[in-house]
Structure 1
Amino acid sequence: MLDPRKLRLLRELSRLGTIAAVAQAANFTPSAVSQQLSALEREAGTTLLERTGRTVALTPAGRVLVEHAHAVLKELERAAAALAAIGGEPSGPLRIGAFPSATRALLPKALAELARAHPGLTPMVSEIDPADVAAALRAGELDVALVHEYDFVPPVVDQGVRAEPLFEEVMFLTNRASIRAARRDPWILATPGTLCHTMAIRACQAAGFEPRVHHHVDDFDTVLAFVAAGQGVALVPSLAAAAPPDGVRLTPLPLRRRTLVAFRSGYGDHPAVCAAVAALRATRPESALSVSQGWHSTADAG
């Protein structure tokens, strides 16, 4: 019998590519991961990995097993969700991940609605960059998470994670009429590796230039304070633009940020996840564009 816990490690290896990366994601030692994968090979009765020095690659059998692992793990998640539904009213811990502007602007009302509708649930919130959400969901560190995607930054497809749209926002440029007009300005961008950073870089590239980055700041309130202090220009979403400080002008652009709620692909019917999604939908900001208006493709922001 194949052990689902070992199948998860094999799935992570197919995604991450190295034993060390799997160990870090799973909070194991590399030696423990290697031992578990060796045990999985014995259970499968065939070679799943090709080891050459420090590199590891999946064999054809390993790739076949990974495809089945996606289906097996999803069915186990569905089974857990079905059992939880039998218990009636959802209760217990509910681990929620969110990016900073959502934590501030969305979650307080959503948590109040969740407490009103389902007092047995105990929400536990952690701030996390959307780029790290899929791994945290697959590892069971989160149950549900708010993520975002931008024009110029297509979503990352992950078989272990399902995401449903909540709303979309207009993006604003500070103190300039267009991105092209800001080509000689210093820029304030998010930390490299984040979706916000990638979006800003690609928006500038689409306008024909590479931005001169002077500051890396992730909190949009701080970004606007830097803009007000004359430290540069920036792109900010409407959630962060409700009350800009003096000295900050905001120009709407034909760019959008879309917020989605994500969870493990087999947990769509889990009572706690359904409760969280319902609370988020009930309290999403009135100023946001309705998803029924249709999501926009990448636009010319020059």
Structure 2
Amino acid sequence: MAYSPRRLDGLRLRHLRLLELIDEHRSLRAVGMILNRTQPAISQMLKDLEYALDATLVARSVRGVELTPAGRLALQRARSGLASFDHLVAELGASQSPILRVGTNPALIFQMLPAAMRLLQADNAGIRLRLRTGLVGDMLQLLWNGDLDCYVGRIDWEQMSQSMISVLRHVPLMRTDLVLACSIRHPLAQREDIDVAELADWAWALPPADSHNRIALETELRNHGVAGPEPIMEIAADPGGLMILAREMEVLTCLPRFVLETHIAAGELCALDLPSLTLPPIQIGFVTLAEHENIDTLQLLRQALKTAATKKAVAD
């Protein structure tokens, strides 16, 4: 039978929550007890859902029931939709201006996001942001689950599954270099004759070993025959902390170039001059789920970020 959107009309929210309960308990009887329904009633709910989606979502065996690959995809998309719906209910109940749940890399809080918010305030957009910061993978997973409305930051496309990539919409905003930095009082500051091998002799403050910036640094050092540094301090997802450590201590660190222009750097940090050591640039973008890309408030934020990025590029 050909798929028709009208087949979805008979579904209720409980049909979508059904998949999560089946995945967790692997028993229709157990799901029925939780929902206070008979097992035949749960079986009928499942049949209704499979009919609406025109797919087999659950496989039965002597061990119970489990989601098929189609069922797991449906569960992922249902989670995203339910999370967005829960956020809508809370937002409507608050009777205030809309809240956008934004995931981001902490470095963007220093300049780009405040610049975008100033533009929105100037236009009286009445939008509020609820920010969450963290590692790229964590933020994109929250977006995919429906716990975020958008993500602003770098994207590691090569580490993402095709199923995730296919439902995302990405708008490039800006590019920045990844550089080695230190205090202007550090012995290596302002030197133009630094050999890459010298870097192993100095103390470092770095993000964790699984972070993109740390991996990029260690890869480039290995390309020059230099072992990756063993930092005396590690800080996860906090470029501000790394800047403070580099400013106050005799340590080297690795940062996006644009954060050296912020008030936290306060003119006390500089990028090292190492023409032979080339770290990959960072592409900053705006990402949302395909079904959310036309939401008015998201479009306003996206445009404000694009304008802020353009103004920064002109200023630079």
Q: CA deviation at 1:198?
A: 3.4
- Rate the CA distance shift 1:68–1:287 in 2: closer, same or farther, 3 A: same
Q: CA deviation at 1:139?
A: 3.1
**Which amino acid is 2:129 matched to?**
P
- Rate the CA distance shift 1:144–1:211 in 2: closer, same or farther, 3 A: same
Q: Distance in 2 between matches of 1:270 and 1:245?
A: 40
Q: Distance in 2 between matches of 1:258 and 1:168?
A: 5
Q: CA deviation at 1:141?
A: 2.4
Matches within 5 A, 1:56-95: 58=67, 62-66=68-72, 92-95=98-101
Q: Which residue of 2 aligns with 1:251?
A: 273
Q: Is the 8 A contact 2:82 2:146 kept in 1?
A: no
Q: Distance in 2 between matches of 1:181 and 1:289?
A: 36
Q: CA deviation at 1:275?
A: 0.6
Q: Is the 8 A contact 1:76 1:266 kept in 2?
A: no
Residue in structure 1 matching 2:213, options 196, 200, 203:
196
Q: Is the 8 A contact 1:169 1:237 kept in 2?
A: yes
Q: Which runs of 5 or more structure 2 residues have no equivalent in the other structure? A: 1-9, 36-41, 84-96, 183-187, 189-193
- Rate the CA distance shift 1:2–1:196 in 2: closer, same or farther, 3 A: farther
Larger helix share, 1 or 2 = 2
State the secondary structure of the residue aligned to 2:125: coil
Q: Distance in 2 between matches of 1:8 and 1:123?
A: 28
Q: Distance in 2 between matches of 1:278 and 1:232?
A: 38
Q: Cα RMSD between the aligned structures? A: 4.3
Q: CA deviation at 1:221?
A: 3.5
- Rate the CA distance shift 1:69–1:126 in 2: closer, same or farther, 3 A: closer
TM (normalized to structure 1)? 0.64
TM (normalized to structure 2)? 0.62
Q: Is the 8 A contact 2:116 2:307 kept in 1?
A: yes
- Rate the CA distance shift 1:214–1:2 in 2: closer, same or farther, 3 A: farther
Task: Pick the structure with greater CA Rg.
Answer: 2
Residue in structure 2 matching 1:272, options 297, 301, 311:
297
State the secondary structure of the residue aligned to 1:251: coil
Q: Distance in 2 between matches of 1:169 and 1:8?
A: 42
Q: Which residue of 2 aligns with 1:101?
A: 107
Q: Is the 8 A contact 2:286 2:302 kept in 1?
A: yes
State the secondary structure of the residue aligned to 2:294: coil
Q: CA deviation at 1:113?
A: 0.9
Q: Is the 8 A contact 1:185 1:212 kept in 2?
A: no
State the secondary structure of the residue aligned to 1:183: helix
Q: Deviations over 1:176-208 (max 9, x none)?
A: 646554234333211344433433343334443
Q: Which runs of 5 or more structure 1 residues have no equivalent in the other structure? A: 21-30, 78-90, 291-302
State the secondary structure of the residue aligned to 2:177: strand
**Which amino acid is 1:284 matched to?**
A
Q: Deviations over 1:57-92 (max 9, x none)?
A: 75xxx2234557788999999xxxxxxxxxxxxx62
Q: Which residue of 2 aligns with 1:226?
A: 245
